[in-house]
Amino acid sequence: MTEQVPPHSTLPPDTPTSLITSLWSRLNNVSSTLWATILAMFYLSGFVVLNAHLSRFGLSDFEFVSGRYLLAAANFAFFLICFYFFAGRTILLTPLWSARDLQHVNQLGPSRFWEGVVFIRLISRLFFSFCLSAATYTATALEQIEMAWVIALSGAFLVSYVFTTSGLDIRFPRTNLIVSIIIETVAIWAFVSGEGIINLIGVLAVYFLMAMYILHVSEDLKRNKINLDRIGFTTIYSAFMVLIIALGFGAALFGQVSSKVGGGRPSDITFSLDQEIRAVLPDSLVPEGKGPLHGQLVHQTEKYLYVNIADQTVRLRADDIAVIVLKPPQPWHPFSASVWPLPLAVDIWRLFRPPPPVPVARIPRSLLGMARRDDGVQQIQIRIALRRETMS
């Protein structure tokens, strides 16, 4: 009588992916209340995101059922999805990818130098994946994109695609490592040298916090036995961390998200009020005469509009506003000077090119006589005059 071997996964038992698969298989055995808990966390995260954003203006929004919470939660979910697409998968699969790289580079014999190169590739891959996730979110939700990002991503993808499809990454693993490190470093430099670096750093900071938590949980699950108590503790701990991340996302990033996708970015408006309501407002908020008022629409409900005027939030009844004019944001153009790297290249070329020769015949005699003196002020004046003569 032969003994039947129970089916098992083909993944190694100590990989992060197998740990998550094992955890998910155990979660499937829990009752259907799990999905109700997930939906409740989704709704609660939207509540936290929206109120964290409104607290910057001294406002709050407390309703039992509100579609605004769902929009805020959807934005937060998209923020998490952008993290998982690149940075999250890289964190989970880096041990497997690094082991494969070590196996390939050691085909010609073990070498400590190339093991160090594999470690450098690990670092560059991690930073590149984080920048890729952050750039994806800032380009779609925050509408901040630069052509340098597009060129860097396209170049990195094209080189990686050629090496993978042609089998060069297996035939020449060491060359593949060097080329990958170079293109990923160039792409990282393109990410961090753009004009939207402040928002990019904010997104990266939250993503790094999430990565630290994922590494902590995966290491804890790998070292300790997985049981129902461990699953319950990890679930509660994860829910608490999600709410903390939602709080930071709402306070720092939700106000930058475009209103096209349900974000909280204030809209510039011009509006007119009835004279009775206008007389009630403080003099510092109302311009002289009977001209319209200018401000930013921060929040809106069925009955009220919350407008930020001179760094003060004013609640206005919707019926008191006679006319309101919305100012659409400037459309993004791919060839504008702020996103196209060509002007920067031209400036660099002008900086390092040799100066044109000065035609001696065009130098006035008065300047030649002054050049024999040692006065520093006159020397500066001579240089300025010479530059004007050469430019004319």
Q: Where are the domains of the chain?
A: 16-260, 266-326, 354-391
Cα–Cα distance, 339 to 361 (Å, whole number): 44
What is residue 49's predicted lDDT score, i.e. its pLDDT?
93
What is residue 11's predicted lDDT score, i.e. its pLDDT?
43
Q: Is 53 exposed, middle or buried (0-12, 13-18, 19+ CB in 10 A)?
A: buried
What is residue 46's predicted lDDT score, i.e. its pLDDT?
92
Q: Which two tokens stand for residue 118?
A: 């594999």
Q: Which two tokens stand for residue 145?
A: 């994109």
Q: Mark the ranges of the chain whose per-residue pLDDT is less than 70.
A: 1-34, 194-197, 289, 322, 327-392
What is residue 45's predicted lDDT score, i.e. its pLDDT?
92
Cα–Cα distance, 221 to 19 (Å, whole number): 7
Question: To the nearest 5 percent, what fractions of the chain are helix, strand and coil?
Answer: 65, 10, 25
Q: What is the pTM of this model?
A: 0.69
What is residue 9's predicted lDDT score, i.e. its pLDDT?
42
Angle at 330 between CA 328 and CA 331, to 5 degrees: 105
What fold does the segment set 266-326 form as a domain? Answer: SH3 type barrels. (2.30.30)
What is residue 108's predicted lDDT score, i.e. its pLDDT?
76
- For residues 271 and 318, the answer to whether their CB atoms sit within 8 Å is no
Edge-first strand order for the sheet with 321-326 is 312-317, 304-309, 293-300, 267-273, 321-326
What is residue 337's predicted lDDT score, i.e. its pLDDT?
41
- For residues 147 and 193, the answer to whether their CB atoms sit within 8 Å is no
Paired sense of beta strands 312-317 and 304-309, if any: antiparallel
